[in-house]
């Protein structure tokens, strides 16, 4: 009888141990996070990867970081980077939580196309679009460059390595029958590009950024800046082949221009890691779009919640989608 009681007690003890072990394992698994919007833990720190100091992403990112920190209590910092393509890979690698990107580059990343071929970025979603990013082909009056065809044989910067500007440059040159082999390609940041134009080491540069762009404004203080125009027929051809472009212009008066320069634009957007929960991304989205009056950069006036759901090119994060739908704006 005693032997039977001992066996029964042993079985019950083993069963209890297994239950306790299972509970412990469940806790560890829960802390590991999940798929899109599944995590519930609020991070203590977040990074926003932006672009070079001479562009628009960096100063906007600084404003957003301050707004998010104040509104959510999450210590948020804006970091200098090589911009769009590099930023998408940074999110993929888990080295940042929020990133600026061009809409076309975010789409390439999700689909594994062009510079992301064989290395798709599948762990990100959109917070929303922000403003048009104008493709500016920058040079000076003394260069003698007046048309895109004049770029042949010239030293031309197509943007920092890893930036989306390079793809824009290649596509615009392509519709004009020009390849990268036809120019003396330079891979420079916006600041480096305008410094190179100023000191004569390069002739022109592609700059994809909101206007006015800080680096180009700096150049206009000492040089007669020229924005090389794109002819209407080529604009139409470009948009037909690459539908994420829209017609745009650099207005007269910008950089002391005597008249507007016709060109094209993509859109700037904010992209977020899917590791962030729906609640956190909701709070981040709400913080940004309800505190735009605190953004000091001129582009802050162009950012509107009703436009943020248009043309993202990738799916909205559930947290962002929830916020915009509460405001009555549905993704197109």
In a domain, 166, yes or no: yes
Out of 266, 290, 315, a domain closes at 266
Looking at the structure, tell me whether residues 262 and 168 fall in a common domain: yes
Looking at the structure, tell me whether residues 125 and 137 fall in a common domain: no
In angstroms, the CA 188 to CA 196 distance is 9
Residues 46-86 have pLDDT tens digits of 999 999 898 889 999 999 999 999 999 999 999 999 999 99
Least confident of 9-18, 48-57, 203-212, 313-322: 9-18
The residues, ordered by sequence, that sit 6+ positions from 45 with a Cβ below 8 Å of its Cβ are 74, 75, 76, 77
pLDDT bracket for residue 260 (50, 70, 90) = very high
CA angle 76, 82, 86 (to 5 degrees): 85
In angstroms, the CA 211 to CA 199 distance is 23
In a domain, 22, yes or no: no
- Counting Cβ atoms within 10 Å, is residue 81 exposed (0-12), middle (13-18) or buried (19+)? buried
Looking at the structure, tell me whether residues 289 and 211 fall in a common domain: no
CB of 50 closer than 8 Å to CB of 102? no
Hunting for tokens 């960096």 — which residue is that? 58
pLDDT over threshold 50, residue 17: no
Looking at the structure, tell me whether residues 285 and 193 fall in a common domain: no
- Counting Cβ atoms within 10 Å, is residue 43 exposed (0-12), middle (13-18) or buried (19+)? middle
Least confident of 19-33, 270-284, 291-305: 19-33
Q: The tokens of 111 are what?
A: 């689909």
CB of 37 closer than 8 Å to CB of 281? yes
The pLDDT, as a whole number, for residue 163 is: 72
Q: Per the structure, how many domains does the chain have?
A: 2
In a domain, 14, yes or no: no
Looking at the structure, tell me whether residues 103 and 140 fall in a common domain: no
In a domain, 105, yes or no: yes
Looking at the structure, tell me whether residues 245 and 164 fall in a common domain: yes
pLDDT over threshold 90, residue 246: no
Residues 287-325 have pLDDT tens digits of 999 999 999 988 899 999 999 998 888 999 999 999 999
In angstroms, the CA 17 to CA 25 distance is 12
In a domain, 121, yes or no: yes
pLDDT bracket for residue 326 (50, 70, 90) = very high
Residues 142-152 have pLDDT tens digits of 999 999 999 99
In a domain, 40, yes or no: no
Mean pLDDT of the chain: 88
In angstroms, the CA 80 to CA 171 distance is 26
User: Residue 74's domain spans which residues?
Assistant: 45-130+267-326
When pLDDT is averaged across residues 204-208 and rounded to a whole number, the result is: 96
Looking at the structure, tell me whether residues 145 and 58 fall in a common domain: no
pLDDT over threshold 60, residue 23: no
Q: The tokens of 101 are what?
A: 């990107």
Question: Is 0.95 topped by the overall pTM?
Answer: no
In a domain, 8, yes or no: no
Q: Is 63 strand, coil or helix?
A: helix
Least confident of 35-49, 148-162, 267-281, 298-312: 35-49
DSSP string, 223-235: S-EEE----HHHH
Q: Between residues 187 and 31, which one has the greater pLDDT? A: 187
pLDDT over threshold 70, residue 3: no
CB of 307 closer than 8 Å to CB of 329? no
In a domain, 156, yes or no: yes
Out of 266, 294, 316, a domain closes at 266
Q: The tokens of 97 are what?
A: 């939580």
Which CATH number fits the domain that encloses residue 104?
3.40.190.10
Looking at the structure, tell me whether residues 262 and 140 fall in a common domain: yes
Q: What CA–CA distances, in Å, run from 186 to 22, 25, 159, 175, 253? A: 58, 54, 8, 20, 28
When pLDDT is averaged across residues 228-253 and rounded to a whole number, the result is: 92
Task: Strands of 55-140 (E only): list them.
Answer: 75-79, 98-102, 124-140
Q: How many residues does the chain have?
A: 332
Looking at the structure, tell me whether residues 157 and 262 fall in a common domain: yes
Looking at the structure, tell me whether residues 242 and 152 fall in a common domain: yes
Looking at the structure, tell me whether residues 96 and 56 fall in a common domain: yes
In angstroms, the CA 91 to CA 60 distance is 19
Looking at the structure, tell me whether residues 180 and 246 fall in a common domain: yes
Out of 245, 266, 287, a domain closes at 266
């Amino acid at each position: 009888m005693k032997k039977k009681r001992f066996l029964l007690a042993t079985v019950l003890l083993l069963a209890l141990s297994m239950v306790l072990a299972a509970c412990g394992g469940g806790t560890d698994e829960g802390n590991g996070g999940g798929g899109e919007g599944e995590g519930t833990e609020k991070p203590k720190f977040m990074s926003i990867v932006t672009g070079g100091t001479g562009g628009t992403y960096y100063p906007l990112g600084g404003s957003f970081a301050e707004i998010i920190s104040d509104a959510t209590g999450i210590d948020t910092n804006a970091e200098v980077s090589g911009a769009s393509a590099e930023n998408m890979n940074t999110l993929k690698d888990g080295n940042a939580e929020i990133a600026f990107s061009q809409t076309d580059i975010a789409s390439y990343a999700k689909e594994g196309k062009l510079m992301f071929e064989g290395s798709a970025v599948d762990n990100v979603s959109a917070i929303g679009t922000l403003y048009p990013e104008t493709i500016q082909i920058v040079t000076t009056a003394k260069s003698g460059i007046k048309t895109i065809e004049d770029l042949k044989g010239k030293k031309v910067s197509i943007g920092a390595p890893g930036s989306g500007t390079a793809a824009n440059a290649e596509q615009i040159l392509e519709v004009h029958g020009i390849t990268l082999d036809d120019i003396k390609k330079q891979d420079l940041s916006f600041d480096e590009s305008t410094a190179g134009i100023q000191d004569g080491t390069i002739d022109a540069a592609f700059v994809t950024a909101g206007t006015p762009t800080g680096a180009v404004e700096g150049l206009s203080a000492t040089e007669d800046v020229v924005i090389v125009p794109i002819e209407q027929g080529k604009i139409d051809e470009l948009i037909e082949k690459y539908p994420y472009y829209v017609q745009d212009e650099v207005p007269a008066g910008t950089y002391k221009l005597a008249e507007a320069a016709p060109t094209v634009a993509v859109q700037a957007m904010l992209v977020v890691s899917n590791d962030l929960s729906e609640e956190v991304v909701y709070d981040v989205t709400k913080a940004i779009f309800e505190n735009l009056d605190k953004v000091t950069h001129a582009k802050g006036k162009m950012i509107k919640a009703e436009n943020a759901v248009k043309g993202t090119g990738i799916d909205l994060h559930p947290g962002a989608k929830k916020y915009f739908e509460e405001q009555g704006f549905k993704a197109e």
